[in-house]
Amino acid sequence: MNKKSIKDINVTGKKVFVRVDYNVPMDEQLNITNDTRIRATLPTLNYLLEQNAALVIACHLGRPKGERVAKFSVEPVAKRLAELIGKEVKFASDCVGPEAEKAASTLKPGEILLLENLRYHKEEEKNDPAFSKQLATLADVAVNDAFGVSHRAHASVEGITKYIETVAGFLMEKEIKFVGQTVANPERPFVAIIGGAKVSDKIGVISNLLEKVDTLIIGGGMAHTFDAAKGYEIGKSICEPDKYALALDLLKQAEVKGVKVVLPVDLVIADKFAPDANTRIVDVDKVDPEWEALDSGPKTSELYAAALKDAKTVIWNGPMGVFEMDAFAKGTEAVAQAVADSSAISIVGGGDSIAALKKTGLSDKITHISTGGGATLEFLEGKTLPGIAALADK
């Protein structure tokens, strides 16, 4: 990816429009419950401040769909950012128009301004040229540090690049390097672990990875579709009958390409979908017709760990079971532990996998935790992300 980053341009004394992904979770009282996405941008913001730049920061929150919805105001984000960066963060109650223009034009080097939610305007998601141009007039140069939204051709991500030079921030650069380059040119053996509920959500990822990996571990609810396709009784487990043919085709493709596929050999089954359900551990072909599988079993965990032992590159996306309930978290926790114990370059993406890592306290043992959800998946699928494609070339 031959794209310019902030170190390739002179930002000294300039006004810099910085697109970030501050779509953070909040409680009913509008307190931010997880500020990881804000913290992830601090290296970029601090570097720009060190260069005596003035920062005009833009983001979105939730899905206000072009309406002014009070609970989606990013004002609480300005307060949290100020605490984290140790500087005042000015706030503009709109992202375009007279107030935003005045706030940006009077901004001095070393000062920070956060604009109100971009998605209060329908034009943002429509990638409206006039709206893009309005955003571009607020600064001299733009930085995209919002990998998590770069799979969307929105005004602040893609449209703005037509009116103002736009380069990658450090977080964006890291995502391109780890997710993009590692998948394109991995150290081998290369193992991918794909979990989650549905095959349909991850078809593109599995198909693309089959071209690249040496071993593919398939877990979580989607494994039941493969099992059912092979003729196993899966009881009341989550399943996609319309994907049986696809599942068998993916297994055949793997065989032809010489990719080893590892599926669960035992499961934790329950008599109901609840934390206090009665549970049993059974072989994969012994699921009671009235019960459902909610986690992988201990033999499967050993199998997965063995497949990861000699890996040089590992990608993990998606949990192995209903990890939110402690009774069904062991499979996901075992994978988290095996990835953490591995000496491989490890990349973890997807909200559930990251939440599981946090729960096990193993986040610092991972080489790179991707900040994108859908963006990471599309990148792993080998798709071109509009926000990355639009960055200035070196």
pLDDT of residue 105: 97
- Reply yes or no on whether 374 is catalytic: yes
Give the pLDDT confidence of 335-382 residue by residue, as tens digits. 999 999 999 999 998 778 888 888 888 999 999 999 888 888 888 888
Catalytic option among 351, 361, 383, 394: 351
CB 319 within 8 A of CB 195: yes
Flag whether pLDDT at 242 surpasses 70: yes
pLDDT cut 70: percent of the chain above it? 100
pLDDT of residue 355: 81
Q: Which helix (H) or strand (E) holds 112?
A: strand 112-115
Query: Is there a single domain that holds both residue 137 and residue 10?
Result: yes
Query: Is there a single domain that holds both residue 231 and residue 375?
Result: yes
Catalytic option among 14, 126, 133, 198: 198
- Reply yes or no on whether 351 is catalytic: yes
- Reply yes or no on whether 365 is catalytic: no
- Reply yes or no on whether 97 is catalytic: no
CB 71 within 8 A of CB 62: yes
Last residue of a domain, one of 146, 172, 198: 172
Last residue of a domain, one of 172, 203, 235: 172
Give the pLDDT confidence of 91-140 residue by residue, as tens digits. 999 999 999 999 999 999 999 999 999 999 999 999 999 999 999 999 99
Domain hosting residue 349, numbered range: 186-380
Query: Is there a single domain that holds both residue 194 and residue 152?
Result: no
Total structural domains within the chain:
2
Distance set, CA 342 to CA 19, 180, 224, 296, 314 (Å): 35, 21, 27, 20, 9
Catalytic option among 3, 15, 37, 80: 37
Query: Is there a single domain that holds both residue 233 and residue 118?
Result: no
Query: Is there a single domain that holds both residue 225 and residue 291?
Result: yes
Read off φ and ψ for residue 230, nearest 5 degrees: -85, 0
Query: Is there a single domain that holds both residue 228 and residue 353?
Result: yes
Distance set, CA 186 to CA 83, 163, 193, 198, 213 (Å): 39, 36, 15, 26, 9
Query: Is there a single domain that holds both residue 341 and residue 239?
Result: yes
Query: DSSP letters along 272-298, please?
Result: SSSTT--EEEEETT---TT-EEEEE-H
Query: Is there a single domain that holds both residue 18 and residue 102?
Result: yes
Confidence band, pLDDT 50/70/90 cuts, at residue 272: very high
Number of H helices and number of E strands within the chain? 16, 15
pLDDT of residue 216: 98
CB 131 within 8 A of CB 105: no
Last residue of a domain, one of 123, 145, 172: 172
pLDDT of residue 1: 65
pLDDT of residue 322: 95
Q: Is 265 exposed, middle or buried (0-12, 13-18, 19+ CB in 10 A)?
A: middle
In a domain, 83, yes or no: yes
Catalytic option among 62, 66, 110, 374: 374
